[in-house]
Structure 1
Amino acid sequence: MSSGSTAAQALLFERVQLGLIIPGAIVTTALLVLYAYAASRPVSRRHLDRVSFRLLVHALVAHLVFCIVFPVSTINTRPGVACKVQAFFANGSLMFSAFMFFCVGINLPLVLAAKVNGQRMEKFYIIGSSLVCLACNLTPLAAGRFGQNPGNLTCWYIDPPGPTLLKWVMTTQTMWLLFTSVGEVVSFIVILVYLVGYELETRSFRTRLRGGKDTSTATTSTIPATTSGFPTIDLAMSSEDSKFLSSGTGASTGVSSVSRAQRVRGRERAREPTRSSIRMFRGIVLRIGLYPLASCLLNISTSVMDWRTSKDPNITEEIWTITTADLAIYCSRPLIYGLLAATDPSFIRAMQALYHPSDADYEYASRIQTQATRLFPWWRWRPGNARHQTRSGRLSTVYMDYESGVTTTTDGYERELDVLPRMPSAGGSTGGSTSTDTGASNLKVDVVAALETGRSVLDTKVGAENEHDGEDAAIDDDARTRPPRVVAFAAAPVPVTVDMHVRRASQDGRQDHGDEEMVQLEADREAVGWLVSQI
């Protein structure tokens, strides 16, 4: 190639780079500023308190570093220590961002399918990604392989195109980028299989209810409480003056009565066609599918181009064209991922909370306060009913029997409020009946409802303060005569999936049991979608 051609190629090189890297830097900076502002506001902070969102922020910070260092490493290419440092940070920031998106991809299947605690894994995601990036970039830096590349005249690997350069590029960069892309695709497939499995279990369960079969048999055969991996909220079963047993434990619990109108609605709901879980979760599927798609397009294409330019020692017109395309793809990474990050559901909810805050946004101003899933209208407007503070951010369903004072939790872990004593259960044990512990990975909450003289102490903050102040914190007079209720609590963020604990009807109340179950089923499925979207 002539010197004039080389100068023209270098000018094109610079224009392509700046034309793509500058918009990417602007978008990334604007997003980080908006993220910081939303995180500083109490009404929107809870929407951003997600493991995947924090990993996304780390990736955007790495992209911002890449936007600063990469143009310098391709324009200011004078040999020396500065060129080596520029190559180190350019490659390191690129790999770290790729690993962060890889961790975002694997977090959801680990949480849902493997029941791993996402919050506990967060530090391992960051530490593991940092160690791999340091190992892949400190090794060539210590070996003196970073510097001005004679092939593309940038601060990259110092070796000319050939077997040596190919070896270094493949082992310290290309192989790992391909690994992250494949991992994201596999994670996406796992989530799809998981949602399809959940849909099949739900359809089977509804089919048995429609067919009028024994609900007890259907429950235990289609949705085993201890082995099923598919998520649902605990279903509230009921029968007139009946009590039911946990499908896996036999722990007694009180349940609410169902009116005739509710039973009729349940039968009508049973005849309706089942909505597809894929349709219900289409926003989630779209969100978790865009990142693997972008990673495959970017990482695989750049890996192939790097392999092609690294093994050919002849600098031809074709090599320059491939190098320019390779540069354009690298420079477009911050812009593409920035646009995807701008559509993140957590960020959108935070922006909506800033401009149109709801009552829940005001109520849950602190990120350690619990988000309550309210299943009954009478519970909705109780003062302080969602003011629980949790240490671990987990979920439990608490069954409350106002007449006997029995409390039942579905997580197998019993916790009480500091200001109130335990209440004796129906069986005479202290603290109420609980279902069998199915493992530390199950969802749990750090407060359990207890009852004292008909007073609901689920209102931990308001009720406790009023009691200490000598005020009457009791609920209305008919609280003692109210039927048992069930309330599901979900903390923000929800780190692990919801275990199934479907209640089995007694011999005398199976039909009512199935009716209310059908009434609650659609609401429970919606709640599952909400839980998945919070991860």
Structure 2
Amino acid sequence: MGSITSVLHQISIPSQLCAFTAVVGAVACFLVLALIAALYARSNTRPYLNRVSFRLVVYALVSMLLHAITLAVASFATGPSTTCSFTMWILMLALQFTSYLMFGIAINLQLVLVHGVSGRAMEKYYIIGATVVSLCVTLPPFATHQYGWDPIYGACWFTAADSKTRLEWQLGTHMIWTLLAAIGEMISFFVVYTHLHRHQVLYAATIRSGSFPRATNNSTTTTRLSPSYAIQYRSIIIRISLYPAVSIVMNILTFSCDLFISLRATATATQTDYNIAALIDFLYGLRPTVYAALAATDPALLRAIRVALDDIRGVKSTESTSADSKRSSVRFDKTSSGTRPSTSTTRTLEGRPPSRDFDSKPENENGARLDALRWEEVHRARMAEEAHVREDSEEFEKQI
């Protein structure tokens, strides 16, 4: 079948497969970003997009848009050029930046759910960390002209013709970092799902026993989140975790394929080599489309779309009502490190004084007046408590 070099020339980055998927990905990212911008411009839908993980996804979509555009440009390169080198740097920079933003989403879920850390306080560190890592990883090969026309792939990739040198650069500036991001995402993914399962069991046991024991705020347990939050937001948490889950799959696949082709760069080509090389092109072009599809079906975006459509039709949205009905009975503790969920269970108020049955006839006029004052006091306390619960629940949803 010939050397692997000849095979790679047939299905390299300039192939129609890679170019087509890159263009589709660029269009998909642009459309989703345009929709998000339109919803963010509306005052009644903007609050629904106010979630840490969703903002990280928006940054990732911008990065993937650059990735898709540069990949499409690189697909038409026919030889060494400055454009080839520069587009490869932007492509790899966007790829690493997106990978570590997905890692940031996974870490944020773990920090908020398990450790009670403020997600909004940590948001800037996720962005700064992803930026610093991606620049540190991609600037050295760009400065030493390792990005450019690839004599093995016959396309814009790594310039080293020596297989050993090529593998060293790929491992040190691309593959290892992709693998580390995937490993970090898997660890956080496992911790979050273990935490959710533990709270599911705890909540079920509490329901069966019919008792809701209190816990002090200075509890030494590592589980700081009340079961009600874990249960209430379980579907949203699982949906958010799809971002790092998909990133794990994509990163491991690209790492494995890149390593396989790099190790066999000088070997005799087989049908397996052809299939793996074609898969690499497809994966790099498909990634922007996958992230755009995930963002388009994000719960925050879908709720904002429903509110906007109801507003256009002149119908009062039911989103606020349905959200209020799901509020948890858990309060947040204000700490120096941010806002964290408390383990204390909020007291349920019945709305009437415990000392007197409202259905019984009062002994005298003063007793009736006292009952009315007590009921009003308890009612005000209940309304204030419900307002606090709504605020705390909204605050928690913004953190994840």
Which TM bucket (shorter chain)? Answer: 0.7 to 0.9
Opposite residue 32 of structure 1, the aligned amino acid is L
Unaligned runs of 5+ in 2: 342-371
CA drift of 1:168 comes to 0.7
Question: Does the CA contact (< 8 Å) of 1:161 and 1:312 recur in 2?
Answer: no
Residue 335 (1) aligns with residue 329 (2): no
Q: Percent identity?
A: 28
Q: Which residue of 1 aligns with 2:33?
A: 32
Question: Does the CA contact (< 8 Å) of 1:159 and 1:165 recur in 2?
Answer: yes
Inter-CA distance 285–76: structure 2 relative to 1 (3 Å threshold): same
Opposite residue 353 of structure 1, the aligned amino acid is V
Residue 219 (1) aligns with residue 219 (2): no
Q: Which residue of 2 aligns with 1:355?
A: 309
* d(CA) in 1 for partners of 2:392, 2:300: 12
CA drift of 1:176 comes to 1.3
Inter-CA distance 225–203: structure 2 relative to 1 (3 Å threshold): farther
Q: Counterparts in 2 of 1:259-278, with a 5 A limit?
A: none
CA drift of 1:203 comes to 3.6
CA drift of 1:193 comes to 1.4
Question: Does the CA contact (< 8 Å) of 1:118 and 1:495 recur in 2?
Answer: no
Q: Deviations over 1:294-339 (max 9, x none)?
A: 2232211111111122223326433444222211111111111211
Q: Which residue of 2 aligns with 1:482?
A: 377
* d(CA) in 1 for partners of 2:44, 2:178: 38
SS in 1 for 2:44: helix
* d(CA) in 2 for partners of 1:80, 1:134: 22
* d(CA) in 2 for partners of 1:439, 1:219: 27
Inter-CA distance 297–105: structure 2 relative to 1 (3 Å threshold): same
Q: Deviations over 1:152-209 (max 9, x none)?
A: 1122211125111111111111111112222222222212111222223334444444
* d(CA) in 2 for partners of 1:123, 1:233: 28
Inter-CA distance 226–199: structure 2 relative to 1 (3 Å threshold): farther
Between 1:14-23 and 1:352-361, the stretch displaced more is 352-361
Question: Does the CA contact (< 8 Å) of 1:161 and 1:311 recur in 2?
Answer: no
* d(CA) in 2 for partners of 1:194, 1:11: 44
Q: Counterparts in 2 of 1:69-80, with a 5 A limit?
A: 69-80=70-81
Opposite residue 240 of structure 2, the aligned amino acid is I
SS in 1 for 2:154: coil
Inter-CA distance 207–286: structure 2 relative to 1 (3 Å threshold): closer
Q: Counterparts in 2 of 1:242-321, with a 5 A limit?
A: 283-284=235-236, 286-314=238-266, 316-318=268-270, 319-321=273-275
SS in 1 for 2:79: coil
Point out the structure with max Rg over C-alpha. Answer: 1
* d(CA) in 2 for partners of 1:326, 1:375: 44
Question: Does the CA contact (< 8 Å) of 2:138 and 2:173 recur in 1?
Answer: yes
Q: Which residue of 2 aligns with 1:151?
A: 152
Residue 232 (1) aligns with residue 241 (2): no
Q: Which residue of 2 aligns with 1:68?
A: 69
Q: Which residue of 2 aligns with 1:522?
A: none
Inter-CA distance 494–100: structure 2 relative to 1 (3 Å threshold): farther
Unaligned runs of 5+ in 1: 211-217, 236-276, 365-370, 377-394, 398-409, 414-437, 445-476, 497-530
Inter-CA distance 342–234: structure 2 relative to 1 (3 Å threshold): closer
Q: Which residue of 1 aligns with 2:366?
A: none
Q: Deviations over 1:503-531 (max 9, x none)?
A: xxxxxxxxxxxxxxxxxxxxxxxxxxxx4
* d(CA) in 1 for partners of 2:50, 2:288: 23
Opposite residue 23 of structure 1, the aligned amino acid is V
CA drift of 1:57 comes to 0.5
Higher RCO by CA contacts (8 Å cutoff, separation 6 or greater): 2
Inter-CA distance 20–155: structure 2 relative to 1 (3 Å threshold): same
TM-score by length of 1: 0.59
* d(CA) in 1 for partners of 2:269, 2:183: 32
* d(CA) in 1 for partners of 2:292, 2:323: 32
Question: Does the CA contact (< 8 Å) of 1:95 and 1:133 recur in 2?
Answer: yes
- Larger helix share, 1 or 2: 2
Question: Does the CA contact (< 8 Å) of 2:26 and 2:65 recur in 1?
Answer: yes
Inter-CA distance 303–13: structure 2 relative to 1 (3 Å threshold): same
Q: Which residue of 1 aligns with 2:165?
A: 164
Q: Which residue of 1 aligns with 2:358?
A: none
* d(CA) in 1 for partners of 2:228, 2:246: 37
Question: Does the CA contact (< 8 Å) of 1:20 and 1:328 recur in 2?
Answer: yes
SS in 2 for 1:148: strand
* d(CA) in 1 for partners of 2:184, 2:277: 27
* d(CA) in 2 for partners of 1:87, 1:481: 69
Question: Does the CA contact (< 8 Å) of 1:43 and 1:361 recur in 2?
Answer: no
* d(CA) in 1 for partners of 2:227, 2:9: 64
Inter-CA distance 495–183: structure 2 relative to 1 (3 Å threshold): farther
* d(CA) in 2 for partners of 1:139, 1:341: 32
* d(CA) in 1 for partners of 2:33, 2:268: 41
Opposite residue 99 of structure 2, the aligned amino acid is A
* d(CA) in 2 for partners of 1:294, 1:113: 22
Inter-CA distance 316–63: structure 2 relative to 1 (3 Å threshold): farther
Inter-CA distance 8–99: structure 2 relative to 1 (3 Å threshold): closer
* d(CA) in 2 for partners of 1:326, 1:336: 15
SS in 2 for 1:43: coil
* d(CA) in 2 for partners of 1:110, 1:125: 12
Inter-CA distance 233–28: structure 2 relative to 1 (3 Å threshold): same
SS in 1 for 2:145: coil
Opposite residue 239 of structure 2, the aligned amino acid is R
Between 1:169-178 and 1:183-192, the stretch displaced more is 183-192
Q: Which residue of 2 aligns with 1:431?
A: none
* d(CA) in 2 for partners of 1:120, 1:12: 41
* d(CA) in 2 for partners of 1:375, 1:332: 37
Opposite residue 304 of structure 2, the aligned amino acid is A
Opposite residue 298 of structure 1, the aligned amino acid is M
Residue 189 (1) aligns with residue 190 (2): yes
Question: Does the CA contact (< 8 Å) of 1:148 and 1:154 recur in 2?
Answer: yes
Inter-CA distance 491–52: structure 2 relative to 1 (3 Å threshold): farther
CA drift of 1:49 comes to 0.8
Q: Which residue of 2 aligns with 1:513?
A: none
